[in-house]
Amino acid sequence: MAGRSSGRGVLEKALGVLDAFEGRRDGLRLAELARHSGLPVTTVRRLAADLVNRQVLERLPDRRYVVGRRLWQLGLLARVQGGLRDVALPFLQDLYEATRENVHLAVRDGLQALYLERLYGRTSVPLVSRPGGRLPLHATGVGKVLLAHAPEDVIASVVASAEKVTPYTITEPGRLLRELAEVRRRGYARTVQEMTLGTCSVAVPVLDASGAVVASIGLVLATRRDPGRHLAALRVAAAGISRTQH
Amino acid sequence: MAGRSSGRGVLEKALGVLDAFEGRRDGLRLAELARHSGLPVTTVRRLAADLVNRQVLERLPDRRYVVGRRLWQLGLLARVQGGLRDVALPFLQDLYEATRENVHLAVRDGLQALYLERLYGRTSVPLVSRPGGRLPLHATGVGKVLLAHAPEDVIASVVASAEKVTPYTITEPGRLLRELAEVRRRGYARTVQEMTLGTCSVAVPVLDASGAVVASIGLVLATRRDPGRHLAALRVAAAGISRTQH
C-alpha cells in the first residue's frame, strides 16, 4: 500500500467532499463544504474547482455547490442490489397504479433501511423518503419488515438504540420485540405516525429463492385512509418481485 | 495549475474507469476495463481495487466489476437540470397512469438527447432508453422536439451527420429540416419505427417562463396503438411541468 498515498488521498478527499451533500441537495457554500467534509478550506476550494471542471460538481450563480450531472449519470450505471431495483420497477409501477399512494422499495443496510426506489404522484402524501436515502429500521413499515427478519445481533442493536422520531414511535424494547415477532407471524408490518405525523404505512417482505427476506416493499398513506385494503395488492407485487429472484 | 498533477491524474483516471461502464451495466472484466478506459492493466487493477474498497465499484463473484452502491447513492444527491426531474416526476406519474405507456423526460445535451427519467410498467413496450442515457436527437420523438428548438448551428450539425438507426430513420437533410419546421409549427413531434422497430412515439416541448424550450416529454408505444389519442394528456402534463418553471 506504500507509494500510492497521494493518489489515494485525493480520491478519499473527493469522496469526502461528495459525501457532505448527503441530506443537503440544495447545495453547500465553500465554508460549509469544508466544515462537513472536515478538510481545510484551501484544499476544498482546489478540489471543488477540479470537480466542477469535470462536471462532478456544479456551481450555481449564488456560488453554492451542488452535485452535478456527470455524477448523476455515473450513478445510474450502478447495478443496485444485483439489479433488484430494475426488475422490481414494473411491479412497483403496477402497485402505484392500483393504489396511487407512495410506493417504497427498501433493503437493510447495516442498522438502517436504504430506500432503492420511491414512486408517487401529485395526490400522494408528501414524505421525507427518497431513493438513495436511509431511514431508521424501527420507525417505518419497510424498516420493521427488514428488522423483523434481520440477524439477532442486528435486532438487539437497533432495539437497544431505538429513538423516538415522533411521539408515536415505538421504542420501548419489550413492545418493539413483541411487534417484530408479530410482523414475522402475520407476514406484514403496519405503522401509524411513527416516522411522519399524519401518515401510516403497511409493508411486506420480498424473498429470494431460498425464502430469505432480501427486501421489503411498502405503501405510505394519509392516516385517514385504510392501509389494510391495499395489503392484497402489496402481496401480489411482492410475490411478483420475489419470483424474479428465483 | 502546476504541482497538482498527481492528484488530478488520479481523479481523471478514476472518472475514466467509471465512464467505461456507459452502456455496459452488466459489468466489465479487468482487461475490458483497461481497454475501454485506455489505461494500462496494472494501473486499472490498482485503481479498481481502491474503488472497490470505497464501494464506488463492486466486484462480482465471477470477477466482473460493476458500478457500486455508493456511486449510485452519491449520484442521487444531484440536482439534475436545476431540479427539473424532481418537479416533473409527479406529472410524469400522472401521464403514465393515464396511458400505461413508456413516459420519457429528456433535455438536449450538446448533439444528443439526455434522458432524465423513464417510467414504464409491465405492459409497456420494451425500449433501450434509460435515465442518464443518451439517444440521437434526430431519431426519437423527444429528440425531434429538442432539435426543432435548438440553435441553428446545432440543427445544422445534427442534420449533416444524421445516421440511420433503423431503415425508417429520416436522415435525408431536406426531409429532416421540413419535418423540424413542422414540429415547430404544430407543437409536437411524431416518429414511427425511427429508433426501435415496432414502436412509435409522440412528444411535446416543456417551456420555461420566457417561453424557451427547456425539455421535452414524450410517449413511446407499440406501432399497433395510436399515439395521437394521447396528445391531449401529454400537453396537459407538459403545461403542468412548464408552470413549475415560472
Interface of A with B in 116-135 (CB under 8 A): 119-122, 124, 130-133
Shared-domain flag, residues A156 and A41: no
Into how many domains does chain A fold? 2
Segment A65-104, tens digit of pLDDT = 999 989 998 998 888 777 898 889 889 999 998 999 999 9
Beta carbons of B108 and B146 less than 8 angstroms apart: yes
Q: Do B104 and B64 lie in a common domain?
A: no
Rounded to whole angstroms, how far apart are CA atoms A239 and A32?
A: 45
Mean pLDDT of chain B: 91
- Grid cell, residue A68, equals 452535478
CA separation for the pair B234, B83 (Å, rounded): 20
Residue B142: CATH number of its domain: 3.30.450.40
Q: pLDDT (tens digit, 9 = 90+) per residue, A189-219?
A: 999 999 999 999 999 999 998 999 999 999 9
Same domain, B109 and B204: yes
Q: Which domain holds residue A130?
A: 80-244
Is-contact B113 B137, C-beta < 8 A? yes
Nearest to B92 by CA among B228, B232, B238: B238
Verify that B88 and B148 share a domain, yes or no. Answer: yes
Q: Residue B125: pLDDT above 80? A: yes
- Same domain for A171 and A215, yes or no, is yes
Of A12, A68, A89, the CB nearest to B78: A68
Q: Which of B24, B55, B75 is the last residue of a domain?
A: B75
**Contact at CB, B54 and A18, closer than 8 angstroms:** no
CB of A163 less than 8 A from some CB of B: no
Does the structure show a pLDDT above 50 at B1? Answer: no
pTM equals 0.81
SS3 B25: coil
For residues B207 and B237, what is the distance between their CA atoms, to the nearest angstrom? Answer: 12
**DSSP secondary structure code for residue B28 in this structure:** B
Q: Are A176 and A211 in contact (CB under 8 A)?
A: no
pLDDT, tens digit, for every residue of A5-43?
344 488 899 999 999 998 887 899 999 999 999 999 999
Mean pLDDT of B11-35: 91
Phi, psi (5° rounding) for residue B71? -65, -35
A171: CB partners within 8 A, 6+ apart:
A138, A162, A163, A164
Average pLDDT, integer, range B52-67: 93
Domain-terminating residue out of A22, A55, A75: A75
B130 plus B171 within the same structural domain: yes
pLDDT in tens, B175-222: 999 999 999 999 999 999 999 999 999 999 999 989 999 999 999 999
pLDDT at A235: 96
- Does the beta-carbon distance from A76 to B132 stay under 8 Å? yes
Pairwise CA distance, residues A85 & B244, whole Å: 29
pLDDT at B8: 44
The stretch B91-120 carries a mean pLDDT of 93
pLDDT of amino acid B82: 75
In this structure, how many other beta carbons lie within 10 angstroms of the beta carbon of residue B240? 18
Query: What pLDDT, on the 0 to 100 scale, is given for residue A34?
Result: 94
- Chain B residue at shortest CA distance from A120: B90
Cell numbers at B60, concatenated? 462480482
Q: Are residues B113 and B230 in the same domain?
A: yes
The C-alpha atoms of residue A95 and residue A53 are separated, in whole angstroms, by 42
What are the tens digits of pLDDT across the range B215-235? 999 999 999 888 889 999 999
CATH value at residue B63: 1.10.10.10
Both B66 and B84 in a single domain? no
For residue A24, the model assigns a pLDDT of 84
Same-domain pairing of B165 and B181 = yes
Q: Which three cell numbers stand for residue B139?
A: 431519431
Contact B77 A15 (CB under 8 A): no
Cβ <8 Å between A66 and B56? no
A1-40 residues touching B, CB cutoff 8 A = 4, 6-12, 14-15, 18-19, 21-22, 25-27
Residue B140 pLDDT: 97
- Distance, in Å, from the CA atom of A122 to the CA atom of A246, rounded to the nearest integer, reads 35
The contacts of residue A237 (CB under 8 Å, 6+ apart) are A91, A92, A94, A95, A217
**Cβ within 8 Å, pair A80-B72:** yes
pLDDT in tens, A141-172: 999 999 999 999 999 999 999 999 999 999 99
Whether the per-residue pLDDT at B2 is higher than 80: the answer is no
Touching A: B residues 63-102, CB under 8 Å? 66-81, 89-91, 93-94, 96-97, 100
State the nearest Cα–Cα gap between A68 and chain B, in angstroms: 5
Q: Do A48 and A108 share a domain, yes or no?
A: no
Looking at the structure, tell me whether residues B68 and B142 fall in a common domain. Answer: no
Domain limit, last residue, from A40, A75, A110: A75
Residues B62-81, mean pLDDT to the nearest whole number: 89
Claim to verify: residue B153 and residue B227 sit in the same structural domain: yes
